[in-house]
A and B are shown apart, each in its own frame.
Chain A
Amino acid sequence: MDQLQHRKLEPMTPNNNHDNLGKHRSMLGIFVVKFFQNKLAVLGLVMLLLIIGSAVFAPLLAPHDPNYQILTARLHEPSAEYPLGADQLGRDLLSRLLYAGQMSLLVGFAAMASATFIGATMGAIAGYFGGIIDSIIMRIVDILFSFPNIFLMITLVALFRPSPFWLIVSFAVLGWMSTARLIRGEMLSLKKREFVLAARTLGISKWRIIFNHIMPNAIGPLIVAATLAVGQFIIAESTLSFLGIGISPPTATWGNMLTAAQNLTIFQTAWWYPLFPGLMIFLTVLSFNFVGDGLRDALDPRVVEK
């Protein structure tokens, strides 16, 4: 009992470290401050919100029905009626562009989510267990990496119907490898940390350790990779649609709107037609990359807050 009293009265020298307890800033707070100090990241975020907003509110913003053809307005120049001009079938380009954003972003995000999920799970399992499991998973990664992605995608999409669903599936199946490598690497270093051993000595099961204790520590790189991946999947969707095997018309995507650029006459006479979808792809991917870089810097504890 004497001992117990003694302990409670004992001055807590380490507590002095808590002078700054008043201006307590959580990890999230630090992260937010750091992110907003990065001007490009903020620019990217603002652009991204605008783009996502314009896609979500496309029905409200679009001046015309995106699929309504007015043949007299074929390849109409940008004007008050058609702010960004009209395509070869006389459909309003602005309206199509807004609706195309829905599809392109949907495919990008859905593919990102599924690819990240597969990649993170595979990487975590490979990294944590090591040995033969690691070898098998990483050899699959190597094999998938060694195919030119575009051909595999074309094959996969051609095997099924070129619908958004199969597009997302084929992106997920072919796009998880870099995430898996990333998470495997994180896992290799994190599993050696003492808190993992500590968790094991506390009797916590290995799945719980992997997904509840280690994975949250790898969330930073994962978010960064996922953000950058959205941009890549949007490009991939555009590429396939451009080649005519992605999302098929009349559903508009930025990629299949660009198909027009394959026609030399359109390219020469109606510059606005391929320009705006191209610009949208460019701006969207660019802002995803800005945000991704911003997240990376903000989540990296080595980049100090100014």
Chain B
Amino acid sequence: MEMIARTRSDLEKAQTRAGYLFILPSSVLYAVFVLAPVIVTFILSFTYYDPMAGSHWVGLENFQRFFTGDRSLQIFGNTLCFSLFAVTGNVVVGLMLALALNRAMPAFLLYLFRLAYFLPVIIAAAFVSIVWGYFYGDDLGVINYYLVHLGLPSVHWLTSSQTAMMSIVIMDVWKNTGFFMIIFIAALQGVPRNIMDAAIMDGSSYWRRFFRIVLPWISPVVFFAIVYASIGALQVYESIVILTRGGPGDATRSMSIYIVEEAFDNFEIGYAASISVIMTLVILVITTLQLFASRRWVRH
């Protein structure tokens, strides 16, 4: 009896030791490159950082500066506006594409479709933005060439503050919607066949079936898609840097661009840190909201 007890506790000890040993590399790296920097950023956001003259505590001043400055508020607004349109576009178009592909078709066609629609997802925004930059050109742009050819007026895609943000949204939807299409296809295939068949027998229309059965069934995935898209959109950086450099004026400047400029061009470390904290908090709020919302009314 004692023998067994001892081997069991030995086994537990060995397992504990092995467990900590196995997670050691990841834990050290994670602590150094994620946890510690996040904590330091939070602390920095309450300070005025000056390595020469000495940093000092400024309380909420950095945050106050962000929420009272005209320029920072415009940039905040730009980011939210971009996110709203990009998320809506990506999710709605992705869902429509998924519905279109969710029907009987030859396997090779499906393969080609997935290839075509998913290709932009895996290519860096930094690369495709350069291509789109030439498409969007005013005089030498490919899109305007065809518009003029068709007798339509050419558009100042990137050079007018009214249209620049929408042009970036369009490219973003082109680039990312394939991702959402794929997760929606997977979700649609999970909708139970027998419920759908019964609804068809009852003679309910396609759209009625969609809103009454399909959409509620896949709503957890829709929620997830919205959150996932929002987290990505709030961080938007390279597509804007490459297409407009934040211009014209500040019309397309996003929080990420602002953080980099303040931190590494103006060396306003504390202020820049507060902006990244605000971005993180927005992400946190959206994620938590989704968690609660999906618990409450998903799949009744």
The answer to whether A and B assemble together is no
Give chain A's interface residues, CB within 8 Å of chain B: none
Residue positions of B touching A, CB distance < 8 A? none
